[in-house]
Amino acid sequence: MPINFQIPEDLEQQRQMIEFFAQTAMRPHSRDLDENEHAKPTEFVNMIWPVLRDQQAHSLKKMLEKDQNGNGSKEKRGPGKTYTRLMLMIEQLSWGDVGVYLCIPSPQLAGSAIEAVGTPEQKERFLRRFAEGDQPVWGAMAMTEPGAGSDTSAISTTARLDPDTNEWILNGEKIFCTSGGLALEDSDGLVIVWATVDRNAGRAGMKPFVVEAGTPGVEVTKAEIKHGIRASNTVSIVFTDARIPYDNVLGSPEVQERGSKAGFKGAMATFDGSRPLVAASALGVGRAALEFVAEKLKEAGIEIPYTLPYHKLTAIQRDVLQMEADYKAAKLLTWRAIAMLDHGQYNSLQASMCKVKAGKAITGITQKAVEILGQLGYSREWLIEKWMRDGKINDIYEGTGQINLLIVARRILDYGSGDLR
């Protein structure tokens, strides 16, 4: 695949517009929203919604056009800009404030699941609400449970089909659901809930269900108090005999024979699209930290001489060069995974690789930034300590660094889960 690092003109214009929002509506409120964890960034949401709505309408149109062209056509496999557009937007918004970015009204992970395993009709029906209307709309995904974290195949939430009403009945509990409260309090919001329809079928019994706001039997029970991304709405949700329309199961409701991983593969396909975007978010936090360190070092009269040999550099200069090298390595891996998505190529290995590298790199970059800046770096006078707390989440959610390293090893060695644990 040829590599072109030039951002297309239309995407660069969008990036500059998002940069304006990040500078004017996010950064000035970062500290206040961090101190008041469950406050909703209403001003930012109302400002950015018209822009996001138009972009989501454009993305929906392109997605549906690809579906209409058929799975085997060249048009479907040809390059697009959908994920590149998302990557640039997410990176810039996370540079502004990653917790506030996670509050933006959009399909978010729900959209990734719908696009990965939904039928064309379901994509049109569920994603249309994010592309029109004057009021913001939120989507979320509920996968993690008290007894099932990184091992998503261990979920215990159940979905049973009622033959009398032809409705699915959901029971179970989900935790750490990003934007789950926002999605369920909004009249058009929705949450993708992963549940098992047949425990005996193993991973093949896993299915994603669209649970719409206002569904009886769905209750938000807890808003998490977090170390970082404190502006983000992160909640627990309990489902008690919640009745879901039959057509709200994404893809086919049929369960294949035991041993098949069809249902589980749907979940993994969702992560193949979402993990590079999480990496892009990490890059935004890392760039914010690197820029701030460079600014403060320059004020102190410390330059970074890029032409000197390594042994002639000071400890701080060597640290900064290593931080920049880690950042750029994570960036290149992320761009590669995103480019593969836009070319319609299978990217499971690359998605996990960029997620691992970005999570680890940004955790290290932000910690080293606090160390270099000393007492003020550790204080709340500057945002750098907040970026350290915010950055760590990228090494945890959408599959921990350890889990993604395991996935990378399995893909490279061509091992299954039973061969390498």
pLDDT of 394: 94
Are 271 and 386 within one domain?
yes
Share of the chain above pLDDT 90, in %: 69
Q: Is the dihedral of CA 89, 93, 94, 99 positive or negative?
A: negative
Q: Is the pLDDT of residue 357 over 70?
A: yes
Q: Residue 73 to residues 64, 67, 68: CA-CA distances in angstroms?
A: 14, 10, 10
Provide the whole-model pTM: 0.89
Q: Is the dihedral of CA 282, 286, 289, 291 positive or negative?
A: negative
**Confidence band (pLDDT; 50, 70, 90) for 271?**
confident
pLDDT of 72: 45
What is the Cα–Cα distance from 120 to 114, expressed in whole angstroms? 9
* Position with higher pLDDT, 108 vs 84: 84
**Confidence band (pLDDT; 50, 70, 90) for 63?**
confident
- Tell me whether residue 253 is in a domain: no
Secondary structure (DSSP) of 349-394 = HHHHHHHHHHHHHHHHHHHHHHHHHHHHHHSSSSSHHHHHHHHHGG
Are 67 and 163 within one domain?
no
* pLDDT tens string 148-185: 877 777 889 999 999 999 999 999 999 999 999 999 99
Q: Domain end: 248, 277, 312, which one?
A: 248
Q: Which tokens go with 58? A: 């454009």
Mean pLDDT of 113-141: 90
Mean pLDDT of 384-400: 95
What is the Cα–Cα distance from 209 to 229, expressed in whole angstroms? 27
* pLDDT tens string 17-40: 999 999 999 999 999 999 999 899
What is the Cα–Cα distance from 192 to 143, expressed in whole angstroms? 8
Q: Residue 80 to residues 120, 131, 344, 348: CA-CA distances in angstroms?
A: 18, 19, 9, 19
- Tell me whether residue 418 is in a domain: no
**Domain count across the chain:** 3
Are 375 and 273 within one domain?
yes
Mean pLDDT of 249-267: 67
Q: Domain end: 130, 149, 178, which one?
A: 130
Which CATH number is 405's domain given? 1.20.140.10
User: Are the beta carbons of 139 and 107 closer than 8 angstroms?
Assistant: yes
> Which of 133, 143, 135 is closest to 113 using CA atoms?
143
**Confidence band (pLDDT; 50, 70, 90) for 264?**
low
Quick count: other Cβ atoms within 10 Å of Cβ 356?
A: 25
What is the Cα–Cα distance from 48 to 135, expressed in whole angstroms? 11
**Domain limits for position 41:** 9-130
Rg of the chain taking only CA atoms, in angstroms: 22
Which CATH number is 61's domain given? 1.10.540
Are 284 and 317 within one domain?
yes
- Tell me whether residue 341 is in a domain: yes
Are 16 and 122 within one domain?
yes
Q: What's the mean per-residue pLDDT of the chain? A: 90
Are 212 and 315 within one domain?
no
- Tell me whether residue 216 is in a domain: yes
* pLDDT tens string 85-107: 999 999 999 999 999 999 999 98
pLDDT of 3: 63
**Confidence band (pLDDT; 50, 70, 90) for 73?**
very low
Query: Quick check: helix, strand or coil at residue 114?
Result: helix
Q: Is the pLDDT of residue 76 over 70?
A: no
Are 172 and 311 within one domain?
no
What is the Cα–Cα distance from 41 to 97, expressed in whole angstroms? 11
Q: Is the pLDDT of residue 77 over 90?
A: no
Are 103 and 169 within one domain?
no
Phi and psi angles of residue 206, each rounded to the nearest 5 degrees, phi first: -75, 135
- Tell me whether residue 280 is in a domain: yes
Are 323 and 241 within one domain?
no
What is the Cα–Cα distance from 373 to 409, expressed in whole angstroms? 37
Mean pLDDT of 383-387: 98
pLDDT of 203: 78
Are 179 and 126 within one domain?
no
Active site residue 398: yes
